[in-house]
Amino acid sequence: MTDHLTTVAGVAVDTRHWIGGRRVASADTFTDVSPIDGSTLGEISRGTETETAQAVAAAKAAFPAWAATSRAERARILHAIADGVEKRLEDLAVVETHDNGALLRSHRRGVMPRVAHNFRFFADRLLTLDHEDFETRGHTNRVGWDPAGPCVLITPWNAPLMLATWKVAPALAAGNTVVLKPAEWSPLTASLLADIAAAAGLPAGVLNVVQGYGAEIGDALTSHPDVRRISFTGSVPTARRIAESAAANLTPLSLELGGKSPLLVFADADLDLAVDLAVEQYDNAGQVCLAATRLLVEESIAEEFTRRFVEKASGLRQGDPRDEATDIGPTIHLRQLEKVDGFVRRAIAAGARAVVGGHRKDGRYYAPTLLTEVAQDSEIVQEEVFGPVLTLQTFTTEEEAVRLADDTRFGLAATLATGDRERAERVAGRLVAGTVWVNCFFVRDLRAPFGGSRHSGVGREGGTWSFDFYCDLKNTVTAPKGWKDHG
């Protein structure tokens, strides 16, 4: 590391904040560690209330001009940012793999292309954002989307850049300015995004990036009276603290808080497909909010399903995420690894049986795990583990399957495997979930609403729903008469 630059796999990354179009260093730093091998990636500027205040002030100062910028120009700049992402796709993929341990092949082929798509989609959606005028007793109603103001976006560590831009892109498209606070366990690609945005011509102060610990700067950001929107993806306890902080100013919130999603497998399902869907839940070492971690299998096929699952899961290759042959990488942090292991050890002590895995491996790796003989009210069934840990329970009737599926405090997603179309419609309609996948998983379209019910979140993102959140909706009602002729 030289001055404020660190080099990750040959890619230079600035470790300072990005505020008001310039790099800003803090007096103190925190160490960013790679989950691959525990090596130090860099000493990152550790934000304080001073830097957060500077960032919000910069966003506030930049807001009037950016809000007044035409839709066409804002869209042009967002497309230019997407161009920049695509030009640096390999750099972004390599850095993020080192920083959060997800598979390099996934970053190259799926995640980073999606980052560029996030900007392109919302740029294009902005240009078509409209609502048909309607009449009320001869008066014309016209709906508009006004930029709200500075937005604080707080993003998680499991898919750092993709989930950050899922918020940044619509916020900028809407004409808002942004203060982005990336997770301290994976901050590096947010810094690269600031460089890319500046190179694309985004005006100074429109995007600001402040690094640091949520416990130290989170309240300063979320309680700031000049902040007009807050979007957060993360845990329920943190969301509660953010909501309390934002309450004094009645700042609108968008919250995506994870889940404990079910995968329902009926006896009439394609069993090979169902097993594939179940094993797919180990993606990103189980560090996926949407993961269907509760396998609910009809009793008559449970034995055969389990046999096939064990066979397929045993063939997964766990190791260095930079290796193309690797299927599962490491857990992001030793603290998270301890958390995952604690869940499993307590479950086994309470009577659960590990038919696959159930233990730590060398380094930050946790073996893909399947636990059976678990009670519906047990911790392992009810609480989000956020690791490669699945449970398996059986049911005998459709009614029981739905009851078990809906019996948690979460409601983010659900997956359903069945060969019966009528059953699929019937069951999907009764599941408490923001997204239901039928005989598939993780098929996402930015035109669709995304979010959760119950403790899985507040609000929806995607398509027009994102603009509804990041804007102040206005209805202008115009009378048919009272006009003077200036002809």
Domain harbouring 409, CATH code:
3.40.309.10
Give per-residue pLDDT as tens, 162-190: 999 999 999 999 999 999 999 999 999 99
Judge whether 150 lies within some domain.
yes
267 and 250 part of one domain: no
Under-50 pLDDT residues of the chain: 1
285 and 248 part of one domain: no
Query: Which residue type sits at 199?
Result: A
227 and 313 part of one domain: no
* pLDDT at residue number 363: 85
Burial class of residue 99 (count of CB atoms within 10 Å of its CB; 0-12, 13-18, 19+): buried
Task: Judge whether 279 and 314 are in contact, CB under 8 Å.
Answer: no
Q: What is the DSSP letter of 108?
A: I
327 and 399 part of one domain: yes
| CA separation for the pair 157, 180 (Å, rounded) | 13
Query: Which residue type sits at 346?
Result: R
**Tokens linked to 354:** 């590990």
Task: Judge whether 369 and 354 are in contact, CB under 8 Å.
Answer: yes
Kindly list the catalytic residues: 256, 289
Task: Judge whether 175 and 203 are in contact, CB under 8 Å.
Answer: no
Judge whether 446 lies within some domain.
no
Task: Judge whether 370 and 327 are in contact, CB under 8 Å.
Answer: no
Rounded to the nearest 10 degrees, what angle do helices 188-199 and 71-87 cross at?
130
Task: Judge whether 321 and 311 are in contact, CB under 8 Å.
Answer: no
**Tokens linked to 392:** 């398996």
What pTM, to 2 d.p., does this model score?
A: 0.95
Strand-by-strand arrangement of the 229-233 sheet: 22-24, 17-19, 207-209, 178-181, 151-154, 229-233, 253-256, 457-458
* pLDDT at residue number 314: 94
Strand-by-strand arrangement of the 139-147 sheet: 134-136, 139-147, 471-478
Task: Judge whether 112 and 105 are in contact, CB under 8 Å.
Answer: no
- DSSP per-residue string spanning 26-72: -SSEEEEE-TTT--EEEEEE---HHHHHHHHHHHHHHHHHHHHS-HH
- Report the number of distinct structural domains present in the chain: 2
Contacts of 466 (CB under 8 A, 6+ apart): 122, 170, 174
* Residues shown for the chain: 487
Phi, psi of 100 (to 5 degrees): -125, -5
313 and 339 part of one domain: yes
Judge whether 145 lies within some domain.
yes
Judge whether 109 lies within some domain.
yes
The domain that holds 50 is classified in CATH as 3.40.605.10
Judge whether 116 lies within some domain.
yes
Judge whether 483 lies within some domain.
no
Q: What is the DSSP letter of 79?
A: H
117 and 178 part of one domain: yes
Query: Which residue type sits at 417?
Result: A
Q: Which domain holds residue 285?
A: 262-438
Q: What angle do CA 150, 153, 159 make, to 5 degrees?
A: 155
* pLDDT at residue number 484: 87
The number of helix segments (H) and strand segments (E) in the chain equals 16, 22
326 and 251 part of one domain: no
407 and 456 part of one domain: no
| CA separation for the pair 311, 337 (Å, rounded) | 25
Judge whether 487 lies within some domain.
no
Place of tokens 């009810």: 382
42 and 146 part of one domain: yes
Task: Judge whether 455 and 409 are in contact, CB under 8 Å.
Answer: yes
126 and 200 part of one domain: yes
Judge whether 429 lies within some domain.
yes
| CA separation for the pair 162, 160 (Å, rounded) | 6
* pLDDT at residue number 487: 59
250 and 267 part of one domain: no
Query: First-to-last CA distance in the chain?
Result: 70
221 and 289 part of one domain: no
